[in-house]
Amino acid sequence: MRLALEAAFWLLALASHWLLPEQLPLLGQVWIVALFVLSLDLLVGFAGVLTLGHAAFFGLGAYAAGILAQQGWGEPLSGLLLAALLAALLGLVTAPLVLHGGDLPALMVTLGLSLMLAEAANKLPGITGGADGLLGVEMWPVLGLFRFDLFGRTAFFYALAVLFLLFLLARLITASPFGLALRGIRGNARRMPALGTPVRARLVAVYALSAAYAGVAGALLAQTTQFVSLDALSFQRSAEGLLMLVLGGLGALYGALLGAVAFTLAHHILSEMSPLFWQFWIGVALVGLALAGRGGLLGLGALLLRRGRA
Amino acid sequence: MTALATEGLSRDFGGFRAVAGIDLVLAQGARHAVIGPNGAGKTTLVNLLTGALRPTAGRVRLGGEDVTALSQHARVKRGLARTFQINQLFPEFTPVQAVTLALLEREGLTARWWRPVSAHGAVVAEARALLDSLRFAPAEMRAATRSLPYGRQRLLEIALALALRPRVLLLDEPAAGVPPGESRAVLDAVAALPRDVTVLLIEHDMDLVFRFAERITVLAQGAVLVEGPPAEVARDPRVREVYLGEPAHG
Amino acid sequence: MLTVLVDGIASGMLLFVLAVGLSVTLGLMNFVNLAHGAFGMAGGYVCVVLLNRHGVPFVVCLLAAALFAALLGLLLERVLYRRLYGRDHLDQVLFSIGLVFIAGAVVDWFLGARQQLITLPAWLSGRIELGFVGIGVYRLFLIGLCGAIVLALHLGLVRTRFGSRLRAAVDDAVVARGLGIPVERLFAVTFALGSGLAGLGGALGVEVLGLDPTFPLKYMVYFLIVVAVGGANTVLGPFVAALLLGVVDVAGKYYVPQLGAFAIYTAMVVLLILRPQGLLAKAAAR
């Protein structure tokens, strides 16, 4: 039953290529955003570490991959790898600062760090292109075979394939003893040291992992759009990521994916009417979700399923 | 052989001395209780023993090794397990999941990310067996912890510590708040602890203390007031004074 | 040099008035209210609209801004915030970010996204020459007014029954409840007061900090710094923090403009790491 649903999800994702042939660039974006939300889910949903600055890793990955290609090495996979490594490294370095004590310092330190990075990118136009964005990103074909095309076909498959592989890895990790320990930390961080768990070490590990995922997502964006803007590092991105995660369902991998899909599609439809309209309704959605409590779309689905059976 | 000992253990909070120069010695297999009125320093003592707090002065020795500078989790790895006065459980986990987590941790497996928990079949089976020995019903093992009755949660609290197969077990008011109807299972679990495990019981409930402990330390105002076998402690006028407010020669 | 110092002190005092309410939300209810700046923005816009469109005297505008923000705060606290006390910090974060988005969209919809400008009354404009330097009259006005507010708050907190109850509740809400202190009501009143002060700060700040629909997000970090560094149980802590922040910010923008806001963010992170519980909080609490 569970496996069948999972297969259906991925088949539908693949089939969207033929179902919505006009919307390939948008769908490519959906997979990238989904990967970003997945990275947040690993950190916030499973380990219970709060962050308001996850865009820092997304942006770092985006600029890393973008600059690499701009400097003449346009091979996509090595770009992803570089982005993952750099983001993980930043995660490792900043994790001790973030995990210094409690939710509040974590929220503020992550926010502060991401703002620092955004401001640095803004003030170093020689490297990042500043407010004009990073131009001149030229990508080579994926695996030397598939050129990035104007219709976003290669981008669609490339992003979906990366998402799928990293999703499988996340699925493996979250079901492992390490994953169980993370959920234990989220469930009761006071008990874990009394079981002998080095809580700090586990959290640093998942922080770096989550950072690497976000970095890959950013790199995918840079490579598929062949452009990076300051937007990649914005607070808005961090906040929207959290919204999507909660919308889909915290601490469940498919929740992250569903949230990203639902949010991006709604964004596309509503902001065509009016960007203000969109901002207003996103605000209402956030307030409503917070008041209603957790579970998100996935929780709602499970509830309906149970009702249906009963 | 000494299993757990403290030397001149002290802890100040600001100007207030919560624990003042406590010396404790527990032989291997001891059944030792620490009692004392509220504010006597019991909770601080527990936190100093487990490593949740650092002492202002003094040392903690575990099986001969000085562990004063070690973190909580490092002390657990050296055989010191504890239960909490107020349940510290995993509300969303089932008892099997929670005990499995404890067992995986004992085996040093929680850094492993490449195999699912379900592939560690022996560990999961051991979790079930442990819960079974504490008379958890199969349905209870599979229910979310927060949905269990309080007495069962209290028992799970002990199960998590037992899963670590400790050499020294610190029980912090194990029967606190358990309704009379459910307390039997908790008391049985305490009574059935393996003889080679050294047990330090922090208690309020005198019945439990006098039934279980072979040696008792009475704390008052952060210091050791009396230490001795139960009968001796029960007769001591100073203890009566602290507990009942009776004057020592009244 | 002196001009920079005075400007810094003035903007620091403004930040204090804007942020002090947040220290109560965070300290008393342990509530992460990222939307605090929205009350400042509300006050700012009330002031701008009354002054520019209806020609209401500036001082009356200030009072109206404070009153409007206070009432808005009271309303939102009773209707929405109340439901989220004691909930996960993540819920509170999402909720308050949602409010910021809504507030920004509403303001943008009715009044547009451009920077708002006001013309100060004649008696507040111009400069006073002190030897070699000129100091803006409005800056001095800000320092005087905000200084009076700081003093009033400090005395109110230390001398009055309301103040002592509030301090008790911030220290330990459970114990305070046990003592029969109506913590909920106390908080509602304090929330309204904090929102009102933010509204006043927003109105006063149009000339200094600027005003557009991104105001709450732009200054969120500043408010958080003031509170995080200053601690919650005292007026003095956040005040000192706000002054430091104001001076560092203005000096940074004046002397090393190429750093931009980088210096402030760095200061925030460093301070948070060094003193996660607030710079003066410990000294004041015990």
CB-CB neighbors (< 8 A) of B46 in chain A: none
Question: Chains meeting C at 3+ CB pairs closer than 8 A?
Answer: A
Looking at domain B2-244, its CATH superfamily turns out to be P-loop containing nucleotide triphosphate hydrolases (3.40.50.300)
**Residue B73 Cα, gap to closest chain A Cα (Å):** 4
Q: What is the pLDDT of residues B127-152, one digit of tens each?
A: 999 999 999 999 999 999 999 999 89
Say whether residue C92 is in contact with chain A using an 8 A CB cutoff: yes
Residue C121 has pLDDT above 70, yes or no: yes
**Residue A205 Cα, gap to closest chain B Cα (Å):** 9
Q: How confident is the model at residue B15 (pLDDT cuts 50, 70, 90)?
A: confident
d(CA B52, CA B39): 18
Q: Which among A21, A38, A22, A290 is positioned nearest to A164, based on CA atoms?
A: A38
User: Which range marks the domain in which residue C99 is found?
Assistant: 2-285
pLDDT score at B95: 97
Residue A162 has pLDDT above 90, yes or no: yes
Q: How confident is the model at residue C280 (pLDDT cuts 50, 70, 90)?
A: very low
Q: Which among B190, B214, B188, B159 is positioned nearest to B26, based on CA atoms?
A: B214
Q: How confident is the model at residue C282 (pLDDT cuts 50, 70, 90)?
A: very low
Residue B229 has pLDDT above 70, yes or no: yes
| Cα-Cα-Cα-Cα dihedral sign, residues A201, A202, A203, A208 | positive
d(CA B50, CA B88): 15
Higher pLDDT, C57 or C237: C57
Q: Which among C74, C109, B16 is positioned nearest to A280, based on CA atoms?
A: C109
A118: closest chain C residue by CA = C262
d(CA B156, CA B152): 6
The mean pLDDT of chain B is: 90
C263: closest chain A residue by CA = A116
Residue A79 has pLDDT above 90, yes or no: yes
Q: How confident is the model at residue A308 (pLDDT cuts 50, 70, 90)?
A: low
Residue A41 has pLDDT above 90, yes or no: yes
pLDDT score at C253: 81
What is the mean predicted confidence (pLDDT) over C68-97? 89
Residue C249 has pLDDT above 50, yes or no: yes
d(CA C238, CA C225): 9
Residue C241 has pLDDT above 90, yes or no: no
**Residue B185 Cα, gap to closest chain A Cα (Å):** 22
What is the mean predicted confidence (pLDDT) over A255-274? 88
Under DSSP, is residue B245 helix (H, G, I), strand (E, B) or coil?
A: coil
What is the mean predicted confidence (pLDDT) over A61-77? 93
d(CA C38, CA C45): 10
Residue A38, both tokens: 């997945």
Q: How confident is the model at residue B155 (pLDDT cuts 50, 70, 90)?
A: very high
Q: What is the pLDDT of residues C154-191, one digit of tens each?
A: 888 888 888 888 877 777 777 778 777 888 888 888 89
Residue C232 has pLDDT above 70, yes or no: no
Strands, E, within chain C: which ranges?
Answer: 127-130, 133-136
Q: How confident is the model at residue C271 (pLDDT cuts 50, 70, 90)?
A: confident
What is the mean predicted confidence (pLDDT) over A16-23? 88
What is the mean predicted confidence (pLDDT) over A32-37? 97
CATH (domain of C159): 1.10.3470
Q: Which among C44, C76, C53, C81 is positioned nearest to C218, based on CA atoms?
A: C44
pLDDT score at C284: 35
CB-CB neighbors (< 8 A) of C87 in chain A: 290
Residue A227 has pLDDT above 70, yes or no: yes
Of B89, B109, B113, the CB nearest to A188: B89
pLDDT score at C283: 36
Which of A84-88, A263-267, B214-218, C234-238 is predicted most confidently? A84-88
Of A108, A115, A286, the CB nearest to C94: A286
Residue B207, phi then psi, degrees to nearest 5: -55, -50
Higher pLDDT, C129 or B16: B16
Q: How confident is the model at residue C278 (pLDDT cuts 50, 70, 90)?
A: low
pLDDT score at A76: 94
pLDDT score at C91: 87
Cβ–Cβ < 8 Å for C65, A272: no
Let me know how many helices (H) and strands (E) chain C has, helices first: 12, 2
Count of structural domains within chain C: 1
d(CA C215, CA C15): 13
A111: closest chain C residue by CA = C221
Query: Looking up tokens 């029969």, which residue turns up?
Result: C180
CB-CB neighbors (< 8 A) of B97 in chain A: 180
Higher pLDDT, A35 or C245: A35
What is the mean predicted confidence (pLDDT) over A213-234? 95
Q: What is the DSSP string of B220-232?
A: ETTEEEEEE-HHH
Cβ–Cβ < 8 Å for B173, B186: no
Lowest mean pLDDT among A265-279, C81-95, C264-278: C264-278
Q: Which among B65, B88, B87, B89 is positioned nearest to B77, based on CA atoms?
A: B65
Per DSSP bridges, beta strands B168-172 and B80-82 are: parallel
Of A97, A119, A123, the CB nearest to C273: A97
d(CA A241, CA A214): 11
What are the residues whose beta carbons fall under 8 Å from the beta carbon of A202, sequence distance 6 or more?
A47, A178, A181, A182, A185, B110, B111
Mutate to test the interface with A, among B75, B78, B92, B101 (most CBs of A within 10 A): B101
Residue A307 has pLDDT above 70, yes or no: no
pLDDT score at B110: 92
Residue A161 has pLDDT above 80, yes or no: yes
pLDDT score at B248: 45
What are the residues whose beta carbons fall under 8 Å from the beta carbon of A8, sequence distance 6 or more?
none
Higher pLDDT, C66 or C175: C66
Q: Do C94 and A283 count as a contact with CB atoms less than 8 A apart?
A: no
Say whether residue C256 is in contact with chain A using an 8 A CB cutoff: no
Per DSSP bridges, beta strands C127-130 and C133-136 are: antiparallel
Q: How confident is the model at residue C275 (pLDDT cuts 50, 70, 90)?
A: low
d(CA A199, CA B111): 11
Residue A213 has pLDDT above 70, yes or no: yes
Residue C279 has pLDDT above 60, yes or no: no
For residue A181, the Cα-to-chain-centroid distance in whole angstroms is: 22
Question: What pTM was computed for the model?
Answer: 0.89
For residue B98, the Cα-to-chain-centroid distance in whole angstroms is: 18
Q: What is the pLDDT of residues B187-224, one digit of tens each?
A: 888 888 999 999 999 987 777 888 889 999 999 889 99
Q: What is the pLDDT of residues B95-137, one digit of tens each?
A: 999 999 999 999 999 999 999 999 999 999 999 999 999 999 9
Structural domain boundaries of chain B? 2-244
What are the residues whose beta carbons fall under 8 Å from the beta carbon of B115, sequence distance 6 or more?
A176, A177
Q: Which among A189, A182, A221, A207 is positioned nearest to A58, based on CA atoms?
A: A221
Cβ–Cβ < 8 Å for A197, A247: no
Residue A21 has pLDDT above 50, yes or no: yes
The mean pLDDT of chain A is: 90
Residue A294 has pLDDT above 70, yes or no: no
DSSP β-bridge partners for residue B170: B82, B200
Per DSSP bridges, beta strands C127-130 and B80-82 are: unpaired
Q: How confident is the model at residue B242 (pLDDT cuts 50, 70, 90)?
A: confident
Q: Do A181 and B90 count as a contact with CB atoms less than 8 A apart?
A: no
Residue B249 has pLDDT above 70, yes or no: no
Residue C69, both tokens: 């923000």
Per DSSP bridges, beta strands B198-202 and B215-220 are: unpaired
CB-CB neighbors (< 8 A) of A110 in chain C: none
Say whether residue A112 is in contact with chain C using an 8 A CB cutoff: yes
Cβ–Cβ < 8 Å for C26, A107: no
Q: What is the pLDDT of residues B30-42, one digit of tens each?
A: 999 999 888 888 9
Say whether residue A181 is in contact with chain B using an 8 A CB cutoff: yes
Cβ–Cβ < 8 Å for A186, A197: no
